[in-house]
Structure 1
């Protein structure tokens, strides 16, 4: 049995309350990893092009308030 299969089996056996707690924990884990990835991408300059495009659109008047 693979590690993933073991995890799936364990999750399936959780009670309703345990599953709710696990889901909240997992959502937080995903959010933390997403934040870390964004921070790494920003530091590496991977998002610079998008920022430049957005600022150019703003300066040219091709934007509107939300």
Structure 2
């Protein structure tokens, strides 16, 4: 366990069981979300690479405009 994670665990030890469980749920949901994103994108890396190449070609060909959010 890293020092930072250990510090976080120590900080929540005095919390009630309900609060500790709520924090644990948030952590586990975050981990599960990351896993799902990784799994989703791992199956489409070739398609993403192709889209990236196409976007680069369009930028180089001057077919894109700079986005000015203001």
Scaled to the shorter chain, the TM-score interval is 0.5 to 0.7
TM-score, structure 2 normalization: 0.52
* Whole-angstrom CA distance in 2 between matches of 1:23 and 1:63: 40
2:28 corresponds to: 25
> Shift in Å at residue 50 of structure 1?
2.1
Which segments of 5 or more consecutive residues in structure 1 lack a partner in the other structure? 1-13
State how many pairs are aligned.
51
Gaps of 5+ in 2: 1-16
The one of 41, 44, 49 aligned to 1:41: 44
In 1, the alpha carbon distance for the partners of 2:33 and 2:48 equals: 20
RMSD: 2.6
Max Rg structure:
2
